[in-house]
Chain A
Amino acid sequence: MDELLEFLEELHPDVDYETCDTLIDDGILDSFDIISIISEVADMFDVTISAEYIVPENFNSAQALYDLITYLEDEG
């Protein structure tokens, strides 16, 4: 999780990822950010986020994204 937070903070240093749960709804992340996140997650966790998981609920908060990664790791 720390690793993920660190990456997200580099992407948008001004956002408080601990509390923000409207990253998509408030337009903080755009489609290019999503592409960066997906490629970074692939490197960091060796997890592929395929298109059906790219929905706002999974990207609205750092926690939701982390939960998704954990879920996909378990699915393995």
Chain B
Amino acid sequence: MFMLIHDFIHGRVVDVRMGVAAIYAMQVVRDYRMFQNVMDHLGFGENLKDDFDTVLFIDKDGRVTFGEFCQRVARAASYFIEKGVLHQPVAVVADHCTDTLAWYLGVLASGNYYVPVNPDIKEEKLEKIKSLAGIEIVCRGGIDMPRRLSGDELEAAFRSFQEIYRNVPAGLPMYVIFTSGSTGEPKGIIKTHQGMMSFIDAYVREFQFNRETCLGSQTPFYFDASAKDVYTALKVRCPMHMLDSKLFLTPLKLGEYIRDNHINTLQWVPSALSIISTLKVFEKADLTTIRKVLFVGEVFPPKQLRAWMEALPDTEFVNLYGSSEMSGICAFYRVGKVPAEGNVPIGYPLSNSRLYLVDDGKVIRETETVGEIYVASDALAAGYLNDAEKTAAVFTGPPSPELPEGTYYRSGDLAKYGPNEELVFVSRRDYQIKHMGHRIELGEIEAITLDVAGVEKCCCVYQNSKIILFYTGDIDKADLSRQLRERLLSYMVPNKLVPMETLPLNANGKIDRTRLLDKVMDKAIGRKGIK
């Protein structure tokens, strides 16, 4: 199915007269120089050599030091250099292992850019992405240590590498991430080197990541949210454990793994964090090694967040806000206390970003007025692949004459300022509906529903002039309906409540509204998934 290229070092002849040890030493130095270049380019390169014995990545095959990692990167880079692949997109099948990251960096080190691909991708979709991005090479698999390049080959590779890197065009992407577009066509977002540098620098400073940090990486490498783990580890040179997805099926073992390996920082999606709290792992496993929990991507159900905060009272909990249209995140909120009602705030801008609320060409500064979030930042993506129209619609000029020139990302998120000038999410622009003459944010109904005891997750859709609420949890329809009537304005009360065993998730791990809408359309709400 894939053109696997991990066999590229087969059959190399090493000059035996030099002795294996001497060759090894020489290779380490040369591998290092190649890796150094890409690290320098990303701003991570200072005194790299001193950390050759520092453990960097840990996957199910074991530990890899900085020195070993840079050899793998060099080996991966050599392949592309040898083949004359330059300034090209290279797809990498993103298994949750060290070699995926060696391919990423190797692609960068050879002056190319990478396109992460989900290992479970359907052939048809891969073909579509390949043709959309103009990809000819798909990499997957191990970069084995015993199979080494000869010294001459590495030297030649290194020379051409220097040449190449000097000539990398300013606008060359770092990577292109494909997300599912609303139309169903995969949509490629172009991330830049400059964006990643700007983000990681600000992010590491804000949250004081350092050598003592120990990351437990859950986010698959085909999601761009994983860059927070990968590039933080590379920048601060701290260990990063790649958690096997199977561990999430055995919550106690997951807890033990975290404890035994002194993992102190989790940057997970709330769904993954909720597995630990829902299954009450805190009662059985000591998770007090965890010092920082940073969550992103969806609303953390308040009950689950509360369970975490009660179990780990000395741990820092941070709500992160960002989107694929930038590197990393652009705002954050340190959660002191879970709000009694409503959402955890989006919070305040990261130091490399400015966020504005704009409504109808006016910049909102007062509290409680709803506007759309616009982001100005060095970390903004360069736009959508081959889609100038959509790029222009989303990456705009100043949305208000009050704002300075520059590029602004139109987020589609509606928010307002709270009492402490913190941004508070209200809803997606697209989820704003007109119902019986009233303007309603479906997100508001969802937030209030989540506050009802017994409700775990919920999702509101609007179809045929009816508000339909899907929910999971331990509460029957009659009881929920009564409670919602007490809390919601009458025109906001859902017309139909649908209890579910689980809510369908999309490829990004978020609740899949489209599938819920389909259910309504098809009237296919049979027995499956319904209590």
Contact = CB atoms under 8 A, between A and B. Distances in A.
B252 A51 contact: yes
B280 A31 contact: no
Interface in A2-52: 10-11, 13, 24, 29-32, 34-36, 38-40, 43, 50-52
Given A29-B249, A36-B501, A36-B502, A50 B275 contact: no
Interface of A: 10-11, 13, 24, 29-32, 34-36, 38-40, 43, 50-52, 54-56, 59
Given A24-B249, A38-B279, A51 B285 contact: yes
Contact of A59 (B249, B271, B278, B529): B249
Contacts of A30: 249
Contacts of B529: 10
17 contacts: A10-B529, A24-B249, A31-B272, A32-B505, A35-B278, A35-B279, A35-B502, A38-B279, A39-B474, A43-B531, A50-B280, A51-B280, A51-B285, A54-B249, A54-B250, A54-B252, A55-B253
A21 to B, nearest CB: 15
Contact of A10 (B246, B278, B279, B528): B528
Interface residues of B, number: 26
B337 interface: no
B301 interface: no
A56 B284 contact: no
Counting chain B CB atoms within 10 Å of each CB, the highest count among A32, A50, A51, A56 belongs to A51
Interface of A is mostly: helix
B251 interface: yes
Contacts of A13: 528
Given A38-B279, A51-B283, A51-B285, A32 B249 contact: no
Contacts of A24: 246, 249
B527 interface: yes
Contacts of A43: 531
Contact of B250 (A38, A40, A56): A56
Contacts of A59: 249
B281 interface: yes
Contacts of A54: 249-252, 279
Interface of B: 246, 248-253, 255, 271-272, 275, 278-281, 283-285, 474, 501-502, 505, 527-529, 531
Contacts, number: 53
Given A24-B246, A50-B283, 17 more contacts: A10-B528, A13-B528, A32-B502, A34-B249, A35-B502, A40-B501, A51-B255, A51-B281, A51-B283, A52-B284, A54-B250, A54-B251, A54-B279, A55-B250, A55-B252, A56-B250, A59-B249
Q: Which 3 residue pairs across A and B have the least CB separation, nearest first? A: A31-B248, A51-B284, A51-B252
B249 A31 contact: yes
B39 to A, nearest CB: 35
Given A50-B280, A54-B279, A10 B252 contact: no
Contacts of B246: 24
Contacts of B285: 51
B279 A51 contact: yes
A20 to B, nearest CB: 16
A54 B284 CA distance: 12
A40 B249 CA distance: 17
B275 A52 contact: no
Contacts of A51: 251-252, 255, 279-281, 283-285
A3 B9 CA distance: 56
A50 B250 CA distance: 11
Nearest to A35: B278
A55 to B, nearest CB: 5
B308 to A, nearest CB: 15
A13 B527 CA distance: 12
Nearest to B282: A51
A19 to B, nearest CB: 21
A59 to B, nearest CB: 7
A56 B249 CA distance: 8
A37 to B, nearest CB: 9
Contacts of B528: 10, 13
Nearest to B473: A39
Nearest to A57: B250
B348 to A, nearest CB: 33
B472 to A, nearest CB: 8
A50 B284 contact: yes
Contacts of A40: 501
B250 A10 contact: no
Contacts of B501: 11, 36, 39-40
A47 B284 CA distance: 18
A56 B251 CA distance: 11
A23 to B, nearest CB: 10
Contacts of B252: 51-52, 54-55
Contacts of B253: 55
Nearest to A24: B249
A5 to B, nearest CB: 14
Contacts of B278: 35
A52 B529 CA distance: 26
Contact of A35 (B255, B275, B474, B527): B275
